[in-house]
């Protein structure tokens, strides 16, 4: 009697089911990546940040602000070293896509403490000569963003 799918072993049916599930997963992932213009997030173009409508106010404020001519979004919001930059972009990309797909994000968008610390480190890096002349806070921590909360996104 010839072999048929119905009479195939349970092991081969499991492999077929696994292959089907993986195919659906990777197919949906590729479609979502293409639909969301995923490759644009690999660039340094600030226009990428307005792929999501919730970033429009921050983009418009940046475009009118003092940092527009000297810094892109990545200069302030991702670390300046290669591996740390791509790690943060990956974490944020995953978190943003999860939040926007599920619709569970705060409007107006708010920076997380993790990303606030990234931005703060970049303030201190870019403005090192100025920061070195500023008196340190009582606990040795200089928090530029306490006084300069809207910097880069001032209206």
Whole-number pLDDT of residue 2: 55
Q: Which residues contact 117 (CB under 8 A, 6 or more apart)?
A: none
Rounded-to-integer distance, Cα 126 and Cα 103, Å: 35
Residue 37's pLDDT band, with cuts at 50, 70 and 90, is confident
* Exposed / middle / buried, residue 35 (Cβ in 10 Å: 0-12, 13-18, 19+): exposed
Alpha carbon of 107 to those of 47, 130, 140: distances in Å?
20, 34, 34
% of the chain beyond a pLDDT of 90:
34
User: Which residue did the predictor score with more confidence, 80 or 96?
Assistant: 80
Cβ distance 52 to 95 under 8 Å?
no
Residue 77 DSSP symbol:
H
Other C-beta atoms lying within 10 Å of the C-beta of residue 44: 10
Closest CA to 88 of 105, 75, 100, 101: 75
What tens digit of pLDDT does each residue of 115-132 get? 999 999 999 899 888 877
Rounded-to-integer distance, Cα 127 and Cα 125, Å: 6
Closest CA to 115 of 74, 148, 151, 58: 74
| pLDDT for residue 34 is more than 80 | yes
Residue 6's pLDDT band, with cuts at 50, 70 and 90, is low
Whole-number pLDDT of residue 76: 93
pTM metric for this prediction: 0.74
């Amino acid at each position: 009697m010839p072999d048929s799918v119905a009479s195939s072993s349970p092991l081969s049916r499991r492999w077929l089911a696994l292959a089907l599930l993986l195919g659906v997963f990777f197919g949906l992932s590729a479609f979502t990546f293409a639909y969301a213009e995923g490759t644009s997030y690999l660039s340094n173009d600030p226009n990428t940040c307005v792929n999501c409508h919730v970033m429009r106010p921050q983009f418009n404020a940046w475009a009118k602000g003092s940092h527009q001519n000297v810094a892109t979004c990545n200069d302030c919001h991702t670390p300046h070293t290669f591996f740390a930059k791509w790690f943060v972009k990956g974490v944020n990309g995953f978190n943003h896509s999860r939040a926007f797909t599920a619709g569970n994000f705060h409007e107006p968008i708010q920076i997380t403490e993790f990303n606030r610390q990234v931005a703060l480190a970049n303030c201190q890096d870019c403005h090192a000569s100025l920061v070195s002349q500023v008196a340190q806070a009582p606990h040795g921590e200089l928090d530029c963003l306490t006084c300069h909360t809207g910097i880069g996104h001032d209206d």
